[in-house]
Amino acid sequence: MATTIISPTRAVSTTAQSGATSVPVRLVPRRRPGRWAAAAVVAVLGAMLVNTLLTNQRFEWPIVAHYFTQAAVLKGLWLTLWLTAVTFAAGFVLGIGLAAMRLWGGPLLRAVSFGFVWLVRSVPPLVLLLFWFQLASLYPRLSLGIPFGPEFVTVDTTHLISGIVAAIIALTLDVAAFAAEIVRGGLVSVPPGQTEAARSLGLGPRRIFRRIVLPQAMPAIIPGSGNLLIGLLKSTSLVSVIAVTDVLYSVQLVYNQNFKVMPLLLVATTWYVVITSVLAVGQYFVERRFSRGRRDARPFREILRDAARLRPRLPRTTAPPTVPVSADSAGERR
């Protein structure tokens, strides 16, 4: 005998009209065998990964724990965090200026902004880093004076552009190019009608930007900026090529002495994972701050709970829906 599930609204109206006996209807979620199969595969792979991490003695976890908080590693970690903060702040300020040139500048400023972004985004960060580190090969001396005139100050480029200076310049320029596009994309995402409506109310340009445009652009700017910051944190590992003692170069100095390559690389990897996780959580709360009043803003606990859920969430109802059952069908069931 086939069973038909009637919608709750139709079932209640039918019951009220006919006065027949009602039976509660249990809502059954849609079967998703593909999702369960994928979850089973992922669970098996995860169990295999945990098993190999715990049983493979070549990871040498005691050595990882020993060097995890060593002074040399923590000093390199501090330089990594400092380099990330300085280059991100300087690069983002420069990127805001480039975005303003692209949006509100004249033809020359727009061309300069476009050319800078195009060129820097086309060059890999490692190539840019090596170029600035080897700048003395092109310009042995740098001078300050009147263009095409006398020079007042002359400096040896080899002494001026050290490894840390080259890292700051290269990473700042790389961040500026991407930050310019992130800021520009966030600003152009605001509908022009918002600005026109504010002008019709008599608001000034600065107040319009601060009160109307910027609050609506920030939800689009924050996610890209957070991803840029996390990517910059990982890109700081490139400075180890020019012997800047970041966290990666610090562990390289250690395993060059004791030849414990994998345990020391796991130390650096663990620190990167920890810092990236902290930045990701901070990015979520900043996004939530600027997404207040939006319907899609959800608490962090709810996001984690839904991510771990295999069954889809069923709609909440105040009372269980019912379907009418006639006396004849009720007698047949009995």
Q: Is residue 321 part of a domain?
A: no
User: Could you please report the per-residue DSSP string of 86-104?
Assistant: HHHHHHHHHHHHHHHHHHH
**pLDDT at 2 exceeding the cut of 70:** no
Q: Indicate which CATH number applies to the domain containing 187.
A: 1.10.3720.10
Q: What pLDDT does 199 receive?
A: 87
Pair 11, 25: CB distance under 8 Å: yes
Average pLDDT (3-9) is: 48
Q: Is residue 289 part of a domain?
A: yes
Ranked by mean pLDDT, the top range of 84-88, 309-313, 324-328 is 84-88
* 281 to 51, 138, 267, 285: CA distances (angstroms): 28, 44, 22, 7
Which pLDDT tens digit goes with each residue over 8-58? 554 444 444 555 556 677 777 778 888 889 999 999 999 999 999 889 999
CB atoms near residue 218 (< 10 Å)? 16
Q: Is residue 1 part of a domain?
A: no
Nearest to 80 by CA among 319, 246, 213: 246
Q: Which residues contact 294 (CB under 8 A, 6 or more apart)?
A: 219
Residue-averaged pLDDT of the chain = 83
Greatest pairwise CA separation for the chain in angstroms: 110
Collapse the DSSP code of 155 into the 3-class scheme (helix H, G, I; strand E, B; otherwise coil) and give the result: strand
Q: What pLDDT does 313 receive?
A: 56
Burial class (CB in 10 A: 0-12, 13-18, 19+), 76: buried
**pLDDT at 230 exceeding the cut of 50:** yes
Q: Is residue 315 part of a domain?
A: no
The one-letter code for the residue type at 206 is R
- Please give the structure tokens belonging to residue 217: 């652009």
Average pLDDT (158-168) is: 89
Q: Is residue 21 part of a domain?
A: no
Q: Is residue 48 part of a domain?
A: no
Cα dihedral value 291, 295, 301, 304, nearest 10: -100
Q: What pLDDT does 30 receive?
A: 78
Q: Is residue 300 part of a domain?
A: yes
Distance CA 203, CA 307 (A): 44
Which pLDDT tens digit goes with each residue over 169-203? 999 999 999 999 999 999 998 888 888 888 888 88
- What is the span of the domain harbouring residue 133? 54-306
Q: What pLDDT does 6 receive?
A: 47
Q: What pLDDT does 304 receive?
A: 60
Which pLDDT tens digit goes with each residue over 267-302? 999 999 999 999 999 999 988 888 776 655 566 566
Burial class (CB in 10 A: 0-12, 13-18, 19+), 52: exposed
Average pLDDT (116-125) is: 95
Q: How far is CA 253 from the centre of its chain?
A: 31
Number of domains in the chain: 1
Q: Is residue 334 part of a domain?
A: no
